[in-house]
Structure 1
């Protein structure tokens, strides 16, 4: 098992979909975060949006880290601020999911982000995550055309239909491959999918997911059946993210992922949480301190248990070799 740390490295605007006004002040928080990673010899994957890739200040922070070999720079496409743009505000919420755009527009936006990173960082990115987890077959086909190695957009056991997005409620944390047609295959393919680590604090993930889907039906919302099952320790879904989970919960989830023989721990969070007041997870300076402490303590725990770190593309390269 490997530890992957994948950071949505993006503009300051949280839940504000502006085509043109996208400051990136939060990127200054990465300098402090990277010191934690360097302490443990961990290499994160910074998945960067167009405003980050196209702003001198953020380039000057991220590029030296990459050039030292201490991180990977990947792509993270926010369709509302990645050209070509319509410059209209407010942005249609449906269109914030790139999977809802025409296929040619999906390609144009991801290709433009790809070329911007290539121009300003001197590398062709090979790892990717969609903004708001808006993944689709058409996105996978675009990534194959652009020679990406790995995507990390799927959030297992989670349905985004209520936000105009895809339904991943039947997906598990196992990695798998896409073919050139963007469809899932079970042998080695063109593009590796490494889902975010979302799972359960109890064993037998398939059974817990069936319970969860039953409890999430509209007829049970009034009695808060999902919360009741969590309280009774029957079904407790958790994300491997320091933004929304306690250290204890993250450790419990990582143990269950190992017990269920999943292939990696994919820890994820947003760069905007590194500066107080820029995300709902860190509204104060103390919140930021707690977040950084959680990240450090979790990495320390996994390193003590012999878990090695890899970037997304390193993990993909390893799987490509081992499945030949």
Structure 2
């Protein structure tokens, strides 16, 4: 029996977008090689889900072309709707509010996906097969467009997480509620993306697991309701946040114990650069990140095998 896959998804985007919304820089491209070397040490193959500013960054393009040429990773698409052409203002300050792609008119959604897909394919001379939505916001029409443009994989679903309380445009409905979505890979119903269907678009949800049991969560939600608050259950992610290697291993072990055929890790490209994110602010925190990654990857190398998203698609097809 083959080992489950270890999938590494990197949201590849500008520096510290949590605070830097104008005049975006892409210095983090210079810090990706160290991470790539760590992945290759353990036989893992990242998927760099790439947005507009990185696609036109010479440093990143040179790095990613080398990864592709050596078959040591994949480039996919990541779309930040508010600054990805064609630009059409949706609020009085899109850089501040960062509206979701699903909040734009359908004609603009299509154009933005077409432009980004063509740009990436022209630059890297490979078919774009994998995708993640900006700010995790996804819906049926979005899925239908990805299918139309020939994508095989989406990895926007975050099981148990409800983003509806996180606004894009101020008068909008917020992000996508994934609280009732599957927590394993499935071919999507393009008319109801929360259900298994017969399309060729494979959803690879993030590896997230509930922090507490169902009884605890029910009590907590009842208590919050009495206080007039609505909060989703607490979750653990297979995602570094500083000194959390044991938590990441716990999430991965849960997935493997459940018989899942993959575990999926994510991070932003800017988080590999000191000061590129609120979490990893300096050299000391970056060194701790790499100690955690070394321990996590060494552990996972014993029980998983590295694949890109597109490779996992073929693995899934073969059963």
Calculate the TM-score normalised by the size of structure 1: 0.87
Distance 1:319 1:55, change over 3 A: same
Confirm or deny that 1:147 pairs with 2:150. Answer: yes
Mark the runs of 5 or more structure 2 residues left unpaired by the alignment: 167-173
Q: Quote the residue 2:171 is aligned against.
A: none
Q: Quote the residue 1:101 is aligned against.
A: 104
Distance 1:216 1:43, change over 3 A: farther
Distance 1:213 1:170, change over 3 A: farther
1:33-44 equivalences under 5 Å are 33-44=35-46
Distance 1:245 1:106, change over 3 A: farther
Distance 1:252 1:83, change over 3 A: same
Calculate the TM-score normalised by the size of structure 2: 0.88
Q: Quote the residue 1:271 is aligned against.
A: 269
C-alpha distance in 2, partners of 1:182/1:166?
A: 13
C-alpha distance in 1, partners of 2:310/2:110?
A: 21
Q: Quote the residue 1:195 is aligned against.
A: 205
Q: Quote the residue 1:315 is aligned against.
A: 312
- Which of 221, 229, 237 is matched with 1:214 structurally? 221
Any idea what the Cα deviations from partners look like across 1:228-267, whole Å, max 9, x if unmatched? xxxxxxx862000012671111111111112222231100
Paired residues of 2:224 and 2:231 also in contact (CA < 8 A): no
Any idea what the Cα deviations from partners look like across 1:204-231, whole Å, max 9, x if unmatched? x7x3695387258443578x999xxxxx
Report the Cα offset of residue 158 of structure 1. 0.6
* Cα-Cα RMSD: 2.6
- Which of 118, 129, 142 is matched with 2:132 structurally? 129
Q: Quote the residue 1:174 is aligned against.
A: 184
Q: Quote the residue 2:239 is aligned against.
A: 241
Higher deviation after alignment, 177-186 or 100-109:
177-186
Distance 1:244 1:291, change over 3 A: closer
Task: Report the count of equivalent residues.
Answer: 308
Any idea what the Cα deviations from partners look like across 1:163-215, whole Å, max 9, x if unmatched? 1111111123211112455645535422000001110356xx7x369538725
Classify the secondary structure of the residue corresponding to 2:317. Answer: helix
Paired residues of 2:15 and 2:276 also in contact (CA < 8 A): yes
Any idea what the Cα deviations from partners look like across 1:75-133, whole Å, max 9, x if unmatched? 00001111011368621766521111111111111111111111111112100000110
- Which of 149, 159, 162 is matched with 2:162 structurally? 159
Report the Cα offset of residue 16 of structure 1. 4.6
Q: Quote the residue 1:52 is aligned against.
A: 54
